[in-house]
A = this chain, B = another copy of it.
Amino acid sequence: MANMKEIAKLAGVSLGTVSHVLNGSATVREPLRKRVMDAVASAGYQPSQLARGLRRDKTNMIGMIIPDVTNPFFPAVVRGAEDVAFEHGYRLVLCNTDNDHAKEIVHMNELRTYLPSGLIVIPSSFSDLTAQAESFRRSGAAVVCVDRLPLNWNGDTVTADNEKGAYDATNYILRQGHKQLAMITGPRHLTNSTNRLKGFKRALAEKKIHLGPEYIQEANFDQHGGYAKTLLLLRMIPRPTVIFAGNDMIAFGALLAFREMGLHCPDDISLFGFDNLDLAEMTSPPLSSVSQPGYQMGTTAAQILMDRVRGDDGPPKHVVLDTAIKIRDSVGKPVTGDNVHTSRTPARAARVSRTGRKR
């Protein structure tokens, strides 16, 4: 509403002085300073971020591009980023891409015209983002990639140690005696997916366990994907005794499929997730899962951005956060043979539907 000119008049000083008081860009003697501050307070003045940004070639916004807020892993990252950004006086502009590269480009191009101080992106795919990122950098904005990496990325990154997490989980599964494993990966064009798969395979290779390619299925990182691929896996012969899900949402879908097929987890079939969402604890049975620090990924990314904004122009940073396996009740001993679930009291979950189309 009020603008600087009015404040200047109100305080009986020049425009420049008001600006200097507000930004501390020059020392202003106390009496004047006070008059300005009083005028600002009495008018409830707040500087126009638009004009300020235009003049400074930079705003206090930070663009954040994520696949989908609706997937519970991402809000944690967003929240982490927002908390650090807010504390430093920066605000977040949020964009969802649905893992659609085209949408990602649209968002990036438009965001740039707001001259944000930085950009945090969880890439939608391994498509090369170098060009867009370069144009951000040229306009003075730092860019950091989180969770997944695009092709040829040469900037800052914050990721979880996906391969190690998957490797540990797989080893745990193997120690329980499972021989017939299966994995439902996330989309193969995402580096977090492929790294998890890599860890899985490495553990298998070390134990000299061979797996037919049909036991490795690819799905979207959501419940429906997990559900569909699980149904598919359950029809295979021999049936896998455990499924390693590329993330918890996939695992949740798998649980649904188990239930529908009248299978009890972990007695009839085991399951391991990835992400360790808050809700993994709540499922039936509580889901064992690889925990990765979503919130911390957000804070770390934002922190790097803050450093860059403040002038750090060192070489690219690559922070890899640790993962840990969280053991709950969803992995049991393997059952051999088929249809074994009939040999024990009907699984509680079976109540829901027992239309077992088994073969």
**Residue A6 is within 8 A (CB to CB) of chain B in the complex:** no
Checking B48, B51, B93, B252 against A61 with a beta-carbon cut-off of 8 angstroms, the contacting residue is: B93
A50-B54, A94-B94 are contacts. A256–B284 as well, Cβ < 8 Å? no
Q: Which B residues are CB-close (under 8 A) to A50?
A: 50, 53-54, 59, 113-115
Binary flags per residue of A76-99, CB closer than 8 Å to B gives 1, else 0 = 101100100000000111111000
**Residue A109 is within 8 A (CB to CB) of chain B in the complex:** yes
Q: How far does the Cβ of A98 sit from chain B's closest Cβ, in whole Å?
A: 10
Q: Which B residues are CB-close (under 8 A) to A162?
A: none
Q: How far does the Cβ of A64 sit from chain B's closest Cβ, in whole Å?
A: 8
A75 to B, closest residue via Cβ: B69
**Residue A72 is within 8 A (CB to CB) of chain B in the complex:** yes
**Residue A310 is within 8 A (CB to CB) of chain B in the complex:** no
Contact A284 B281 (CB under 8 A): no
Q: How far does the Cβ of A61 sit from chain B's closest Cβ, in whole Å?
A: 7
Name the interface residues of A194-232: CB closer than 8 Å to any CB of B: 223
**Residue A49 is within 8 A (CB to CB) of chain B in the complex:** yes
Per CB-CB distance, the 5 closest pairs between chain A and chain B, nearest first, are: A284-B284, A69-B75, A94-B94, A50-B54, A49-B113
Q: How far does the Cβ of A289 sit from chain B's closest Cβ, in whole Å?
A: 13
**Residue A237 is within 8 A (CB to CB) of chain B in the complex:** no
**Residue A139 is within 8 A (CB to CB) of chain B in the complex:** yes
**Residue A348 is within 8 A (CB to CB) of chain B in the complex:** yes
Measured CA separation A319–B138 after assembly (Å): 46
**Residue A30 is within 8 A (CB to CB) of chain B in the complex:** no
- 27 A-B residue contacts at CB 8 Å? A46-B112, A49-B110, A49-B113, A49-B114, A50-B50, A50-B53, A50-B113, A50-B115, A68-B79, A69-B69, A69-B78, A69-B82, A72-B75, A79-B96, A82-B95, A82-B96, A91-B93, A91-B111, A92-B94, A223-B278, A256-B282, A282-B282, A282-B283, A283-B283, A283-B284, A284-B286, A329-B351
A50-B50, A279-B252, A282-B284 are contacts. A91–B75 as well, Cβ < 8 Å? no
Q: How far does the Cβ of A93 sit from chain B's closest Cβ, in whole Å?
A: 5
Q: How far does the Cβ of A203 sit from chain B's closest Cβ, in whole Å?
A: 27
Q: Which B residues are CB-close (under 8 A) to A70?
A: 75-76, 79
Select the residue from A68, A72, A139 with max chain B CB neighbours within 10 A.
A72
Measured CA separation A95–B64 after assembly (Å): 12
